[in-house]
Amino acid sequence: GAPPETQESPILPGAAKRPKPSSRSGALALSAAIAAEDAAERRRLAAERRREEEEAAERARKEAEAAVVLERQELIMLRLTQDQEFQQSLMQDQLKDLTSRQQALRVELEAAASEVAETENSLRNAQQRLERFGENPRLQEEVSRSEARLEVLRPRCPDLEQELSEVEASIMHNSELLTAMLADEG
């Protein structure tokens, strides 16, 4: 005989073709079976679509979390870099200040040492003239003035030398730190 007529699912085109029943009750049973299969297929497709949407949403959530973490890390690195640059700038400023202070102390120490030498020379000369010419109020006043001046000047030189030594030690220390900071960058 001739092949039986087939019926395609009205919901899912391309679904398996089934033979067309010859009786009304057979047609209803076949229609109910097709409807059940179609409903099951729709539920399966809907569940698959939901699962894909959930997976896509989870991927998007993870990507967003990763982006936030990356942004935080970049912000932290930016702050660290800015802090390091600030520290380097501060260190360079301190070195400039210390170097200026070092130069000023050297000039001041040289001037004080020179003044001590001149005052000691004046004192020696005045004492020699006193020994040579005897008591003279003007020479005695010059000796007293020179001695008083030396009492002020002599302690000043060791103080200046101590401060200069401390400033030079600070310059060395800060230079080493700055060198280390710059080496860490490279």
CB atoms within 10 A of CB 35: 13
Instruction: Please give the residue that has the higher pLDDT: either 21 or 98.
Output: 98
Location of structure tokens 């990763």: 66
pLDDT greater than 80 at residue 5:
no
CA–CA dist 72, 90 (Å, integer): 26
CA–CA dist 182, 178 (Å, integer): 6
Taking only the tens place, the pLDDT of each residue in 16-70 is 555 565 688 888 888 899 999 999 999 999 999 999 999 999 999 999 999 999 9
Q: Is 19 helix (H, G, I), strand (E, B) or coil?
A: strand
What are the tokens at 36? 């059940």
Taking only the tens place, the pLDDT of each residue in 106-129 is 999 999 999 999 999 999 999 999
pTM: 0.57
pLDDT greater than 90 at residue 94:
yes
DSSP 132-168: HH---HHHHHHHHHHHHHHHHHHHHHHHHHHHHHHHH
- Side chain identity, residue 68: V
Strand-pairing partners, residue 19, are 6
CA–CA dist 24, 36 (Å, integer): 18
Instruction: Please give the residue that has the higher pLDDT: either 165 or 9.
Output: 165
Instruction: Please give the residue that has the higher pLDDT: either 83 or 181.
Output: 83
